[in-house]
Amino acid sequence: MAFIKPFRALRPPKDLADKVAALPYDVMNVAEARQMAAGNPASFLHVSRPEIDLAAGTDPHDEPVYVQGRKNLAEFIRRGILVQDDRECFYVYRQRMGEITQTGLVVCTSVDDYQSGVIKKHELTRADKEDDRVRHIDCLDANDEPVFYLSRSSAEIETIISGITAAPPEYDFTTDDGVSHTLWIVADQTLIGRLTGLFAAIPRLYVADGHHRSAAAGRVRELRREKNPGHTGREEYNVFLTVIFPETQLNIMPYNRAVKDLNGRTAAEFLARVEEAFTLLPSPVPVIPCERHQFGMYLDGRWYQLHARDTIVDESDTVGRLDVSILQDRLLDPILGIGNPRTDKRIHFVGGIRGNDELVKLVDSGEYAVAFSLYPTSIRELIELADQDRIMPPKSTWFEPKLRSGLFVHLLS
């Protein structure tokens, strides 16, 4: 059963919501974060990326960065940029991006559920990123950014959500990227009880985006439990901030790749090796793969369409048949020498929202030698694999639109 809990959100007043809302901390570099927050003292990036308020060149993992985040959050509260609700609520958060609409329930989920496997994972975490989130959350004394989960669809839950969204919203605004954001408050105790009971009947939740934040929430709980001789299990640090969406509404984009060099090979030698495992055709236009096992490749100013040969695909292997696995196991590792994509500095991952133009830009700059466009992993593949407790290669899924940070914060004490 999936345990969900209402909470007293720390959130902006209506007139500040659009100014506070910010993209997640990990979809931008420091320079981009500085630019996004420029001229906007209410931007939540001052909390989620506090290094933007320190000297250029500051290591984002130095202690003063975490302390600055805590100071900035306290200042936001003092100035009324963020105000805590006086009672525990659920919240409904809807995003629209073009033809895509996703409506999720904002709740706190259980560290115990994450550690026991009720919440299913599909990726491994990196120790350095997990350590960073532990220090950030613990110093901030808050889950400042929500984890993005999905659940199996439930007609009863969706009926209740539809009723909630028929009422006037608390927030309704559109960000510069054209994504609309709408939020409703669910304070009615009867509705909260019904939703809690319906989720208790759902056997599993699935991490869509936020493996490091989920793992960090567990580690923060352990740190605080050790320091609290009166620990009861009901403290706010036993739960963490989550938005849960039904599987039918989510949109996965590809997570593309670029590699810095050809591993000592000439372009001709590289292409010859590629043709051993893939059919290869020059393309006069950028390649956006339109089916499984098809790939685009950009090399020396030219696009190629690749298709995995049937002999290299084992459709019975839920991990091996993923396109990200085929590219890694049959090209990136044996030909380009990217043995561990989680740690190798020669590979760069490019979110699908940036499009093929970003791949061309990287290669044409001379910093990268070759780039690959992929067909997106499906929700069905993610759920099937997670149910088997198997792990995808890193950077297998890019969910879009991204949840905005700052619209709801969960305080740990």
Give the number of other Cβ atoms within 10 Å of residue 177's Cβ.
10
The list of the chain residues with pLDDT below 70 reads none
The whole-number pLDDT of residue 126 equals 84
> Rounded distance, CA 229 to CA 401, Å?
42
Question: Locate tokens 């939020």: which residue?
Answer: 183
Say what the pLDDT of residue 1 is. Answer: 82
Cβ neighbourhood burial of 318 (10 Å; 0-12, 13-18, 19+): middle
Cα dihedral across residues 303, 373, 251, 34: positive or negative: negative
Averaged pLDDT of the chain: 96
The pLDDT score that the predictor gives to residue 40 is: 98
User: The tokens of 163 are what?
Assistant: 């009723």
Residue with tokens 């984890």: 147
CA distances from 328 to 187, 189, 324, 342 (A): 48, 49, 6, 11
Q: Are 398 and 352 in contact (CB under 8 A)?
A: yes
pLDDT of residue 11: 98
Of 338, 314, 353, 335, the residue nearest 394 (C-alpha): 338
